[in-house]
Amino acid sequence: MGSEQEPLETQCSTEVKRQAAEVNREFQEENIRLSADRQQFVSQEEQRQVAEELRISIGEAQRTTVLLRQAIEDGQQVAAEIRQSLKDLVEILREQKTLQGK
């Protein structure tokens, strides 16, 4: 503690203040560590949530892709049927023209 000349009360008060400051500093350091740990946990939790949302979005995109492929195939089938119908119609019109010419 302090010198012999200081009253005991002053020496004790100074020591208590020093210890209180040390405890306060340790408390603040622990608070900083806990805050950093909490922030890291929150960050990891947010990353997990984003990853889950991405998995859901990817699944939806894959389902949409399957539906689009099916729609394209259906559209190609319809287009093929329309082309065939047009060919048949042209043939019918040629036959009618030939019959009218006779």
User: Average of pLDDT values for 48-67?
Assistant: 95
User: What is the model's pLDDT at position 102?
Assistant: 66
Q: How far is C-alpha 23 from the chain's CA centre?
A: 42
Q: How far is C-alpha 69 from the chain's CA centre?
A: 26
- pTM recorded for the entire structure: 0.50
Which SS3 state, helix, strand or coil, does residue 10 take? helix
The proportion of the chain whose per-residue pLDDT surpasses 70, expressed as a percent, equals: 94
Q: Residue 76 belongs to what H/E stretch? A: helix 8-101
The domain limits of the chain are 1-72
pLDDT in tens, 28-44: 999 999 888 888 888 99
Provide the pLDDT confidence category of residue 88 given band limits of 50, 70 and 90: very high
User: What is the model's pLDDT at position 16?
Assistant: 87
User: What is the model's pLDDT at position 4?
Assistant: 58
Angle at the Cα of 67 from the Cα atoms of 52 and 62, rounded to 5 degrees: 25
User: Average of pLDDT values for 78-100?
Assistant: 94
Q: Give the phi and the psi of residue 81 in degrees, each rounded to 5.
A: -65, -40
